[in-house]
Amino acid sequence: MAKIYGFKNPMPVMCSTRESGGLEHMFKAGDNFYIWNQIEDDVWKITYPTMLNDILSAMMSEKSTLLTVELVEIID
């Protein structure tokens, strides 16, 4: 996944659990955070908020509009 999207040294941050029913992984590459949906094989760049603690707070909030993402294009 990292190769086809052009990520160098992606670092895992967290992933969903088997109990949650999702296969999503959040990782950091460079100064940005991303979500990889393993089922659909899509990668989304988190554009707002951009700091880890703010992203985690937005994910824990009941308002799903607090997290803004954009689809990352495959470069390979």
* pLDDT tens by residue, 19-29: 877 788 999 99
29 is in which domain, residue-wise?
Answer: 2-71
> What is the number of structural domains in the chain?
1
Q: What is the pTM of this model?
A: 0.88
Judge contact between 47 and 70, C-beta under 8 A.
yes
DSSP for 39-59, written as a single string:
TTTEEEEEEES-SHHHHHHHH
- Residue entry with tokens 């094989």: 41
Give a yes or no: residue 76 inside a domain: no
- For position 38, what pLDDT does the model report? 87
- For position 20, what pLDDT does the model report? 77
Q: Categorise residue 9: left if φ over 0, alpha if ψ from -120 to 50, beta otherwise.
A: left
Q: Which residue numbers in the chain have pLDDT < 70?
A: 63-65, 76
Our CA dihedral for 1, 29, 63, 60, rounded to 10 degrees, sits at: 100
- For position 6, what pLDDT does the model report? 94
